[in-house]
Structure 1
Amino acid sequence: MPELEQLHHFIGGEHVAPESGEYFESTNPATRQPLYRAARGNAADIDRAVAAAQSAFADPRWRDLSQTRRGHLLRRLGDLIGEHSEEFARMEVLDNGKLLREMRGQLATVPEYYYYYAGLADKIHGEVIPTSDRAVLNYTAREPLGVVGAITPWNSPLTLTTSKLAPALCAGNTVVVKPSEHTSRSALLLAELALAAGFPPGAVNVVTGFGSEAGQALVDHTGLAKISFTGSTATGARIASATASRFIGSTLELGGKSPNIVFDDANIANAAMGVVAGIFAAAGQTCIAGSRVFVHRAVYDELLERVVQRAESIRIGDPLDEETELGPLAFADQRDKVAGYVDLGRSEGARVITGGRPSDGGGLGGYFYEPTVLVDVNNDMRVVREEIFGPVAAVMPFDSEDDVVRLANDTEFGLAAGVWTTNLSRAHRMAARLDAGTVWVNTYRAMSPMSPREGFKASGAGVEHGTETIKEYTRLKSVWINTSEDAVADPFTMRS
């Protein structure tokens, strides 16, 4: 075999070899063939990256740059990402197995995040507060925090890195990114493009490696002002504890077990496609997957038949092929986890009516798993309560609005929910009653950089996207100025 490409960290505007000299191998999940070797980061690499970010934060080229000019740099970075969109798309397909046509769609929207925050950069400001003393001026200011640590997952690497990087830079911070060990490449190219766009060396740094090594070192580093993390709820809880003990902030986008609810008055054809999109798109490897499907008993059989029919016709195969509709899971352990949950479901009494087996992906031999539908399930089963992160839908009937609200909210998670109905009043009632940070009605997986999102309960803490997220990356300062030139009164002299 030809020698694999070797990827270094990107620190202080340069490609840097790991302090340990160690690398790890990344593989193509569709074929199991090795792709490249990436630097195995450790605490020494993280320390070097944080130092570079601290230096850039204090550098007058960044510190004194006007907010408008920061916006110009973000816009230029968005342009460069657009120019490299095909390279990014293919890079992520090879790294995590997502469909090429899906990644091309994502890459059409990723620059929009940078354009949005480019426009927002010089709209970050405080306000003047009225006081009881006209001689005293009180105003607030929003300041950047300092160095932000961003820990990102493997399912949508570029998009989820962007959702942290764009607002952090917009607010004037510098960043150290630790991407998933399964998807190192796109973060490194993104950092290169940030430098090419005009951001100073050290404004964007990337240390590759494992969560238990580089990721933990980043969480523990005392030079950080904030951690932004997307990943599992268990890891998020540990990060929340670590950051709270140091009195720094954290934004946590965590797991989900989202309900997708179909009422008897819904357009059933549309609802069936919404269910399919909600759980089988991206092979179910998304925190917002509509993995719990609740269907009104009056339309249960019809909806189920449509979903099963479409699931069985989904084309599984090479994610680089334009005709493929379902690619592989991202790595072997993830495929085994999904298979284990389906077996668990069977042992709990669930019935598999389609799928339920690994697939060879049309002969590619990668980590493929068939679109799977489980029935005869209930809210007490682990396959209904725990996040599977794969193409597995649990479908359950319900009888009334109150019934489905109780079932939908009976979960530790609260990330997203879908509602399918033509009753406008019901749509608003359901949106108000569901414990979810995002509620979609007659659609699923709609997203925009302009729309804030927050996870409820164990699905996270803090806001991503929109103007609201700027508060996550700034600190608020209140300034009081006495404009009077009169003598200051003796505080111990009583006035009549």
Structure 2
Amino acid sequence: MAHAAQCYIDGRWVEPVAPRWFDMVDPATEAPVGRLALGNDVDVDRAVAAARHAFSAYAEWSVADRIALLKRIVARYEARVDAFADAMRVEMGAPAAFARTAQAARGPAHLNALVDVLDRFAFDTQQGTTRLRLEPVGVCGLITPWNWPINQIVVKIAPALAAGCTMVLKPSEYSPLSALLFTDVLDEAGVPPGVFNLVNGDGPGVGAAIAAHPGIDMVSFTGSTRAGILVAKLAAETVKRVAQELGGKSANILLDDVDLDQAVTRGVAGCFTNSGQSCSIPTRMLVPRHLMNDAAQIAKRAAESYRTGAPDDPATQLGPLVNGNQFERVQALIHTGIDEGARLVTGGPGRPDGLTRGWFVRPTVFADVTPDMTIAREEIFGPVLSMMPYDTEDEAIAIANGTDYGLAAYVQSADLERARRIARQLRAGGVHLNYPAADFHAPFGGYKRSGNGREWGEAGLREYLENKSIVGYGND
């Protein structure tokens, strides 16, 4: 495991001052695959000092130089794309095909989007005799989760680099391999010493130190709402900017004019994306009440067609959950769904047949779920779909909006204008009509307890910029 025992500070791989060892485990086999050295607050101090020292010079880089840097990063990433896919297959159990075509592919997609944004972005504009200037916010603390390791790392690092910021990254201790590999890519691409720094660690040991550090000007966090609240409280002491992408419980409204077989089948696929370990996937399927029984049978057939198994098997569609704690949480929520009276259509507690080791979950579908049930309110983070009946469009909108979350929502209809009308009434940061392809320029983020701020594309870049007004600047 290259560099698993080291931090990356000021352009060099260095030893943590007092490492604590974390055992990395293959979630498909529960077998150890290596040990990771976790840093502490002293390592964060070292990394922040390097980032602060590098900031003034890097902030003056021209836009053309930043674009050239991002392009070099893309080229070196693409030369290692198979290694990134292998890393995510091992560290989080992503099936090989999904790791290659979805997980690993997100890195270049977001980097190229930022190149496109920078190519046309105006950092200076004129308003009368006032000059409006956008400048880098400073040193950024970046804290990322395990479920989409490279995606979440790149959507923070790329805009920070594009803006002229320097940074300290703490990736999840459950998915460090892809972060270590990306650090090598940044080094090879010529990111100046101190501009990017990496300290591995857990939330209490390193994440908290980053959030509270007086030398950090902004913290960008992706993770659970519970952890996001702690980050915000720690950051408040130094009045630093906080951008957060947190949990979700996204509704998928199927209107009565859809092709039911297609809408339900694709909805199941969306819910099972990344073995259900995604914050923005459609986990609540809202179905007209008179179509519920038919929809449930379609969902049953779709769910039972999924092959769960070893991530290195090309036929595998669903891999394991990332760790034992996540497995136990999902199992408990499945039991809760049964106990509270939801109709179990397929799946249920326990591992899939034939799998005795690894944190695999049976693809599960519940029907006749009501808004008061736990599985309708709490983020499950596993391959578990909750199907909920409704009688009118207004009721569907109320159910969709009736959670603490507001990250994403989905609407399916044969009438695009009807879908648009409903989309405008949904309290979510991103609404997806008729299962569209991903748009890497579209702002990504949520309402309510799904966070604040936005990532992806131009909106992501703006998070890392400060507004300056130079009044009396003149007209030239």
Q: Report the TM range for the smaller structure's normalisation.
A: over 0.9
Q: 1:477 aligns with which of 432, 445, 468?
A: 468
Tell me how far 1:21 sits from its aligned partner. 3.1
Q: 1:276 is matched with which residue?
A: 268
- Name the structure 2 match of 1:343: 335
Match of 1:44 in 2: 42
Work out whether residues 227 and 249 of structure 1, in 8 Å CA contact, stay in contact via their aligned partners in 2.
Answer: yes
In the alignment, what sits opposite 2:61?
65
Bigger Rg over Cα? 1
The structure-2 alpha-carbon separation of the partners of 1:483 and 1:159, relative to structure 1 and needing over 3 Å to count, comes to: closer
Paired position in structure 1 for 2:181: 189
Separation of aligned partners in 2, 1:361 and 1:349 = 25
Structure 1 range deviating more: 404-413 or 103-112: 103-112
1:420 aligns with 2:412: yes
Q: In the alignment, which residue of structure 2 is the partner of 1:111?
A: 108
Q: Distance in 1 between matches of 2:473 and 2:23?
A: 62
SS of 2:387's partner is strand
Instruction: Using the TM superposition, give the Cα deviation of residue 154 of structure 1 relative to its aligned residue in structure 2, in angstroms.
Output: 0.4
Cα 1:95–1:63 shift into 2, 3 Å: same
User: Matched residues in 2 for 1:5 and 1:198: separation?
Assistant: 18
Q: Contact 2:367 / 2:386 at 8 angstroms: preserved in 1?
A: yes
Matched, 1:163 2:155: yes
Match of 2:7 in 1: 9
In the superposition, relative to structure 1, how do residues 64 and 433 fare at CA in structure 2: closer, same or farther (>3 Å)?
A: closer
Distance 1:297 1:430 in 2: 18
Q: Which of residues 452, 459, 463 in structure 2 aligns to 1:468?
A: 459
Residues 361/157 of structure 1: CA separation in 2 closer, same or farther (3 Å cut): farther
- Between the aligned partners of 1:174 and 1:203, the Cα distance in structure 2 is 4
CA contact (8 A) 1:77 1:197 kept: yes
Measure how far apart 1:399 and its partner are. Answer: 1.2
Mapped contact 1:317–1:364 kept (Cα < 8 A): no
2:91 counterpart of 1:99? no
Tell me the percent identity.
38
Structure 1 distance, partners of 2:355, 2:394, is: 47
1:491 equivalent in structure 2:
none
Report the Cα offset of residue 305 of structure 1.
Answer: 0.9
Q: Deviations over 1:376-434 (max 9, x none)?
A: 32101111111111111111211111111111111111111111110223111111111
1:361 to partner: Cα distance? 7.3
Distance 1:39 1:299, change over 3 A: same
- CA apart distance, 1:6: 4.3
Q: Does 1:381 align with 2:379?
A: no
| Secondary structure of residue in 2 paired with 1:368 | coil
> Is this contact kept in 2: 1:73–1:198, CA < 8 A?
yes
Give 1:40's aligned amino acid: L
1:70 maps to a residue whose letter is R
Cα offsets for 1:115-154 (capped at 9, x unmatched):
2212333524121111xxxxxx420111111111110000
Paired amino acid for 2:350: P
Corresponding position of 2:81: 85
Residue matched to 2:32: 34
- 1:293 is paired with a residue whose SS is strand
The alpha-carbon deviation at position 268 of structure 1 amounts to 1.5
| CA shift in 2, pair 1:16/1:425, >3 Å | same
Quote the RMSD (CA, aligned, Å). Answer: 1.8
- 1:101·1:322 contact (CA, 8 Å) conserved in 2? yes
| Structure 1 residues 482-493: aligned runs within 5 Å | none
- How far residue 234 of structure 1 moved from its aligned partner, in angstroms, is 1.2
C-alpha displacement of 1:362: 4.3
Per the TM alignment, residue 226 of structure 1 is displaced from its structure 2 partner at its CA by 0.3
Matches within 5 A, 1:323-338: 323-338=315-330
Which residue of 242, 248, 258 maps to 1:256?
Answer: 248
Moved more, 211-220 or 110-119: 110-119
Alignment of 1:382-421 (within 5 A): 382-421=374-413
Please tell me the residue identity of whatever aligns with 1:44. V
Structure 1 contact 240–250 (Cα < 8 Å) conserved: yes
Structure 2 equivalent of residue 147 of structure 1: 139
Letter in 1 for 2:114: Y
Residue of structure 2 equivalent to 1:372:
364
Which whole-Å CA distance do the structure 1 matches of 2:467 and 2:238 have between them? 18
- What letter corresponds to residue 119 of structure 1 in structure 2? D
* Kept in 2: contact 1:39–1:208 (CA 8 A): yes
Within a 5 Å distance, the mapping from 1:200-349 to structure 2 comes to 200-349=192-341
> Which digits, 9 at most, give the CA deviation of each residue in 1:273-330, with x for residues without a partner?
2211221121110001211111112322222111101111211101121100110000
Shift of the alpha carbon at 1:36?
A: 1.4
Query: Is 2:327 aligned against 1:353?
Result: no
For the Cα contact (< 8 Å) 1:317–1:361, is it kept in 2?
Answer: no
Segments of 5+ residues of structure 1 without an aligned counterpart are: 131-136, 485-496
Q: CA deviation at 1:112?
A: 2.4
**Bigger CA drift: 102-111 or 331-340?**
102-111
CA distance in structure 2 between the partners assigned to 1:365 and 1:378 by the alignment: 33
- The runs of 5 or more residues in structure 2 that have no matched partner are none
Query: Partners in 1 of 2:297 and 2:37 — Cα distance?
Result: 48
SS in 2 for 1:148: strand
Assess if the C-alpha contact under 8 Å between 2:144 and 2:222 holds in 1: yes
